[in-house]
């Protein structure tokens, strides 16, 4: 599901200091 991927992506983006577009 997208929710699960978003959670993992959020951590990756946070580590890079970037906001994932999925959050919007």
- The reported pLDDT for the residue numbered 24 is 52
pLDDT tens across 1-24, in order?
A: 666 767 887 788 888 887 666 555
- The reported pLDDT for the residue numbered 4 is 72
Q: How far is CA 24 from CA 1, 9, 14, in A?
A: 17, 13, 14
17: which DSSP letter?
A: T
Nearby residues of 19 by Cβ (< 8 Å), 6 or more positions away: 13
- The reported pLDDT for the residue numbered 7 is 80
- The reported pLDDT for the residue numbered 14 is 83
Q: Which helix (H) or strand (E) holds 5?
A: helix 2-16
Q: Are 6 and 21 in contact (CB under 8 A)?
A: no
pTM score, whole prediction = 0.37
Nearby residues of 22 by Cβ (< 8 Å), 6 or more positions away: 2, 5, 6, 9, 10
């Amino acid at each position: 599901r997208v929710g699960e991927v978003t959670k993992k992506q959020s951590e990756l983006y946070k580590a890079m200091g970037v906001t994932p577009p999925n959050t919007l």
